[in-house]
A and B are shown apart, each in its own frame.
Chain A
């Protein structure tokens, strides 16, 4: 097991190195080079030359790449052009919001999707089955930003049940500990702050949950259908086990394996969806910041964030692969 983990971690190195190289080249390919990205179009030739020297741009490329890598490794991602603050600081403030959003969306999708998928498979051909299949097919076809706008319009603007924008009401003066707003509220005992943050989270989370939900329902359904046809399920039923026991011990244990893998692959879709959802709800997470950075052509931010998200993405997938060993004894042997 340990050898496997180490091997997988080593395999990540060339992937991430290659990615950093691409990003490095990308920065150098930008029109006008990095100095334009920092100074904007206004810089005088002298200030440009000075900056080029300061940044070490007059040195050979491989030395520059070495420096770039050293900065990356020490966690220095540069300074945002639009907010003039270190990218890392921006990141630390906004990342918890995205985690709150994506994790709650994923939990919603899992909590609803797996039972629904099981039910659809169990009652194959019924209304539940047809409904959930058609719904999940249609679900992936609705652009998420359209759905976000519609949900916001109905539940926030027209009905007024939930706030339309932000992560927390600006009038609430909450103490920040971890920047996870709900957790902060609980930790400091400011219950109204936690409740308000939760209220702000509902609509974005429900919106974002639709993408993984559609996929989880379909995966679970297909997987359960396959397992239901297995001999061991028939044996379990034949020896008189209750449906609950058969489901818990024989069907779900086996059927959930491919679903777990899918959940790892969903992280990418969730992060993409978070960019769009956060933008619509003005939810201050990294997604919204990325969308703003695109608008401002804030290259240091974009670059740092892409690198960071890639690291998160590969890490999550590694964790999923490892958890596979925990739930499937057959994988453990290798």
Chain B
């Protein structure tokens, strides 16, 4: 087999191979009848042959597609910058908290802070980023806050991704492969998704947060819920567009069960846009979580430093100590920027139309 251009629907690949006969007839009903007419032995042989082909096919195709995308990604400066930012962020978030000079919750230096006289000590050799309004070491709080911010972003995105893909995958498979009944199921599920989409994202998060009461878990769920309809729509659309690819027809014609076609063939070919979206969603999740904190629906536990909460506290003291705003704000902006850069670069490297 010649190396195909990546990111195409693998049109007619099994059929193009000399070992596999193309389906003899065009109309689907007739094709089914032809398939039933096969002897069990012939059927088994053909299935084995298909499995063999599919294995080789999936292997080569899969590796080359992703490898090709990765190769393009590496050459894209935006992707490299994004990846480096994220690597640094993840490193700081994971191991930073073990190396902070002070406890992020210790108010040992509270006597140096005189809010009434607008005195909040700035950076010094002892406290690199100075103290915050409660006399805590700002540097330690920023570092430990990175972990909390990453945690909220990752958990919320994973939640949205899982639920969204479950709904979208089911709807997409039902619509693409389930016939008339499937389209009804799809229609029903999409109406539910429409309901979620009918609310502006932040207000959706606010309703969820108000319903569950403020806590760390609430923030994660509220932010995750926002992305459920996005992932669901995306995966559904992607799966439906794949449902008419010829490899699906080929697999169906050879008697692969519909469920297996959906999971083993259609789903892996539909995941690329979802992965791109997940990267971009991580950026918005961090920003939305900060917005929830700003509206007073964030994590109410003041002991746990989190950039959104720190930012909200600092903004009311912008006049007194602008630096307290700058640290968490820069943290949020740069992290979100890293995810956005990488996500956009991934989208570009996976999109055949944008390839140069």
Contacts and interface: CB of A to CB of B under 8 A. Distances in A.
A268 B202 CA distance: 8
A143 B344 contact: no
B200 A269 contact: yes
Given A19-B198, A313-B198, A306 B296 contact: no
Contact of A271 (B192, B203, B210): B203
Contacts of B174: none
Interface string A17-28: 011001000100
A192 interface: no
Interface residues of B, number: 38
A290 B341 CA distance: 33
Which of A26, A29, A137, A302 has the most CB atoms of chain B within a 10 A radius of its CB? A137
Contact of A15 (B195, B291, B337, B341): B195
B245 interface: no
Contacts of A141: 283, 287, 332-333, 336-337, 340
Contacts of A314: 198
B315 interface: yes
Given A269-B200, A294-B295, A313-B198, A146 B206 contact: no
Contact of A272 (B194, B200, B210, B344): B200
A183 interface: no
Summarize B's interface: helix, strand, loop or mixed: helix
Contacts of B333: 138, 141-143
A230 to B, nearest CB: 12
A295 B333 CA distance: 26
A153 B198 CA distance: 35
A145 interface: yes
A275 interface: yes
B223 interface: no
A146 B325 contact: yes
A309 interface: yes
A314 B197 CA distance: 9
Given A141-B340, A145-B291, A149-B315, A272 B198 contact: no
A137 B344 CA distance: 9
A153 B296 CA distance: 22
A137 B291 CA distance: 19
Contacts of B284: 140
B207 A19 contact: no
A149 B325 contact: yes
Contacts of B353: 226
B75 interface: no
B20 interface: no
Interface string A130-148: 0000000110111111100
A18 B191 contact: yes
A16 B199 CA distance: 11
A143 B211 CA distance: 24
A306 B211 contact: no
Given A275-B295, A294-B295, A294-B296, A143 B203 contact: no
B311 interface: yes
A268 B229 CA distance: 14
B294 interface: yes
Interface of A: 14-16, 18-19, 22, 26, 29-31, 137-138, 140-146, 149, 153, 157, 226, 267-269, 271-273, 275-276, 279, 290-291, 294-295, 297, 299, 302, 306, 309-310, 313-314
Given A141-B287, A149-B325, A290-B206, 11 more contacts: A15-B198, A19-B195, A19-B199, A141-B332, A146-B325, A149-B315, A271-B203, A272-B202, A275-B203, A294-B210, A309-B199
Closest 4 CB pairs of A and B: A272-B202, A268-B200, A141-B336, A271-B200
Interface of B: 191-192, 194-195, 198-203, 206-207, 210-211, 213, 283-284, 287, 290-291, 294-297, 311, 315, 318-319, 325, 329, 332-333, 336-337, 340-341, 344, 353
21 contacts: A18-B192, A18-B195, A26-B207, A137-B344, A141-B337, A143-B311, A143-B332, A144-B291, A145-B291, A146-B315, A149-B325, A226-B353, A271-B202, A290-B203, A290-B206, A294-B210, A294-B297, A295-B296, A306-B203, A310-B198, A313-B200
